[in-house]
Chain A
Amino acid sequence: MNDHFEELINDGLDQLTTGSTLPAGIAARARARVRRRQYQLRASLAAGAAAAAAIAVIAATSAGSAGTTPRTPAGPRSAPSVALLAKIERAVAGKARSAPVLQITTTFPAGPVPVPSDPFSTTQFNEGGVDQSSILWTRGHVLKVVMFHSKGQLDDESLTTERGLLATYTDVDYNSRSWSRGSVNFFVYKWAIPHCALQPLDPAEPRDWVPRTLAKEIKHDIACGQVNVAGRQHIDGVDAIKLAFAGGHLKVPWYDKEPAITHQVMWIDAHSYLPLRYLSTLTFAHAKTGSPRSASTQCDFKWLPATKSALAKLRLTIPRGFHQAHPKTFTVHAPAPHKSAAKHK
């Protein structure tokens, strides 16, 4: 009976699969989806960078505003003094005026994180945990990101220039030894910031994307929550002030059933008062796998003077021998904001 039963299963599956042929274009579709995910990642990075820079500014301004003074919890933490925040604000503002090249080195969580970052189809971020780190350089509307695999090999390199809602990009994919140019609509992605407790911004306002507006949003969040000085630490040998932001809920309109709790910490150089490091931790109370999961992303900042060599970081050279892939233009439509996306705080 056993053999007969097994034969029947075999025959049944043979019958089911007979005539199945590989669908045309399946590899192209898979590559396109991977590429789109990479752009989400970069957009998230960009948002994280802008937000991190803005946090320092807002930490200063919010503490000085009536009704927004952070609550001081019991224990060693304390509200940052107005003087400290003013110093941070001046330092960041001074850097902004001199238009440096901001370099951010990011270390991603080691494994896949079930972030609801893709409104289209996926709940995975850094699927497979392949991308382990990236270096981003940005100045003005130009953003360059280089992504690395876990063993340090180059994965992908892209240069993006923003023009309102639309950004144009050149992308070099070291996996397929190809490059492409195209455009991407950022404004959907900015809603899916995976490591910032930000309220989704107004899709009707293109300028929402710029740090100034992000700063406004963060100010609002800080006004609702708390920021505390959590002591001093050495970061890569630099004396640093640790600022801890209380947890908030990640707000993604179309995934209101799966909020993530965010915790953000920023270390400020105790001498220059510029951000040194930003650590964001997401905790998924209702991860679809059924058990709580968390993941941390760390950003390390360097403020490079706009020298010739620093500006060269914002250029991209297509390696010899790479072939051109047909461009991918992401023309996406943002979903309408969900009512239940109201603030959780």
Chain B
Amino acid sequence: MGAQADEADGDGTDSDGTDGDGTALDRLLAERGDQLMRAAVALAGSRVDGEDLLQAALERLIRSRYRVESDLEGYLRRILYNLAADGWRRRATGERRLRLIRSTPSADAEVGPAPNIDLRDALVRLLAQLPPRQRTVIVLRFWAQLSEAETAEMLGCSEGTVKSAASRGMARLRELAARWQEEPRTLTGQLLEEPR
């Protein structure tokens, strides 16, 4: 569709020309942008999707700036986490959700020879097969190191929900990991490469 060609119209600049005076958002991104990007990548499963996820979160933040009284980073992270947990309802919803759920193996992640490194990489890939909320909870709990209470607050749900999502997610991951260790290729079809 021809309209798609517009994606980079006039705004595909590589410098944030509108923000030269240093707004709070720009300062935040200058200071904490890389950490936020890392969080987005962890949630989305790949750098490309992470960038899109972070941009979606930024758009929401910009649209709701007046709601932010303090802690801009906290607010942005909350948006980011909730977008991820909700299956990231953004552009071409179905397609994006599919990408999020079935993220292809990260081209960024290197597969090392040691078994543990293989399993680590496999777990990241298998994580992409979990429902968005379970995946988000696991990332927040075991990577961002948030407590159950903090995770619940971030996602606007009860601690019980977090506990349950983490428990189910981990159980499913273990199941998938066990099957992967038995038969890497058949477990995820095209999604997983056989460890070298």
Contact = CB atoms under 8 A, between A and B. Distances in A.
A169 interface: no
B65 A30 contact: no
Interface string B1-30: 111111101111111111111010110010
B64 A332 contact: no
Interface stretch (A116-124, A204-212, A234-242): A116-124
Interface stretch (A4-12, A61-69, A75-83): A4-12
A175 B37 contact: no
Nearest to B174: A5
A9 B55 contact: no
A331 B6 contact: yes
Contacts of B65: 175-176
A23 interface: yes
B131 to A, nearest CB: 15
A70 to B, nearest CB: 36
Nearest to B116: A8
Interface in B86-115: 89-94, 106, 108-110
B143 A334 contact: no
A27 B124 contact: no
Contact of A9 (B17, B92, B106, B143): B143
B54 interface: yes
Given A16-B109, A30-B62, A22 B34 contact: yes
A333 interface: yes
A109 to B, nearest CB: 15
A16 B106 contact: yes
A16 B42 contact: yes
A34 interface: yes
Interface string A122-165: 11100110100000000000000000010101010000000000
A328 interface: yes
Q: How large is the interface on B (under 10, 10 to 19, 20 to 34, 35 or more residues)?
A: 35 or more
A121 B18 contact: no
Contacts of B66: 130, 149, 151, 153, 155, 175
Interface residues of A, number: 66
Contact of B41 (A8, A16, A182, A327): A16
B9 A332 contact: yes
Contacts of A28: 11, 13, 15-19
Contacts of A177: 23
Contacts of B119: 8
B162 interface: no
Contacts of B63: 34, 127-128, 130
A187 to B, nearest CB: 12
Contacts of A182: 10
A337 B91 CA distance: 21
A307 interface: no
Contacts of A176: 18-19, 23, 62, 65
A184 to B, nearest CB: 10
A21 B19 CA distance: 19
A130 B96 CA distance: 23
Contacts of B16: 24-28
Nearest to A254: B1
B163 interface: no
A26 B51 contact: yes
Interface string A322-340: 0101111111111110000
Contacts of A328: 10-11
B9 A21 contact: no
A19 B39 CA distance: 12
Nearest to A180: B18
Contact of B91 (A13, A121, A334): A121
Contacts of A12: 109, 120-124, 127
Contact of B121 (A15, A19, A24, A180): A15
A32 B89 CA distance: 19
Given A15-B110, A16-B108, 7 more contacts: A20-B41, A21-B33, A28-B15, A124-B90, A127-B63, A130-B66, A330-B6
9 contacts: A6-B170, A9-B120, A22-B33, A25-B15, A128-B63, A130-B67, A151-B66, A288-B89, A326-B18
